[in-house]
Amino acid sequence: MKEYFLGTEYEISSAGGETGQAFIATREDEKFFLKRNSSPFLAALSAENIVPKLVWTRRVENGDVITAQKWVDAHILNAREMSNARVAKLLSKIHRSKPLQQMLQKIENSTFSAEKLLHNLRLYEDEFGETEAEAFLYLEEYKNQILSFEHVVCHGDMNHNNWMVSQQDELYLVDWDSAMLADHTLDLSILLYQYIPRDEWERWLNEYGEAYSISLHQKLKWYGICQTLTRIYAEDTPLQERKKACQLLKVILDDNEV
């Protein structure tokens, strides 16, 4: 990354993370978060105040695109804080945003129907263990009961580490590399099953702006299983996260309320 800033006084250091694509640039009282080849969707997210402000975007000689965002000193939400009403309201804003939807529609291959998600999972069918095979059978059996033709902007990775509150009390949802147009329960399912106690689902959904129903619960279970299976077999999933996903898969499969 440093070679892109020769002739400047910026100090470049790694921002950590699993991909090695994120950096911190500092000079006197200026500080930026830099990322290589982040989603072109970032500008629209910045305009909607979903992510910290985008300062500039540059294409460098090797073809990479570097983005710089305003550095934000922030608190990363813990698992317990995901039940906060502010999380529900921001996710609702994202799912209902027409400007975000229109922008993401311009990005090729960003729309994922239930059938397309299921098709992607079939590529790993030979690798399924007993639990994964049971989960996949559930998806096949109930796919026609959760059909939806309304696709909204979904984040695609509802890990609590992607939510943060700035010192100015601004809530952000970051790391949009998995963004897609899909049924809104794709995001809701993992968030609810991972972080919200079952007896708080109705309250949390009311804060989000949707009433609980059995049909919604069926979709939550279907997309929860689908998302978790996808996480297990994604090449970039760290081993520890894969183990957590396997545990979550069993929890969702054991949900006998629907």
**Strand runs (DSSP E) across the chain, as ranges?**
11-14, 22-27, 30-36, 54-59, 65-70, 74-76, 152-154, 163-166, 171-173, 180-182
- Compute the distance between CA of residue 10 and CA of residue 20 in angstroms, rounded to an integer: 19
Our answer to whether residue 157 is catalytic in this structure is yes
DSSP 8-state secondary structure symbol assigned to residue 152: E
Record the tokens describing residue 28, joined without a space: 């006197």
- Compute the distance between CA of residue 258 and CA of residue 249 in angstroms, rounded to an integer: 16
Given the structure tokens 């509802």, which residue do they identify? 158
Find, among 71, 115, 98, the residue nearest to 152 by Cα: 98
- Compute the distance between CA of residue 189 and CA of residue 59 in angstroms, rounded to an integer: 37
> Which residue in 29, 64, 73, 157 is the catalytic one?
157
SS3 content of the chain, % helix, strand, coil (to 5): 45, 20, 35
- Compute the distance between CA of residue 51 and CA of residue 18 in angstroms, rounded to an integer: 20
Record the tokens describing residue 112, joined without a space: 């994922």
SS3 172: strand
Residues noted as catalytic: 157
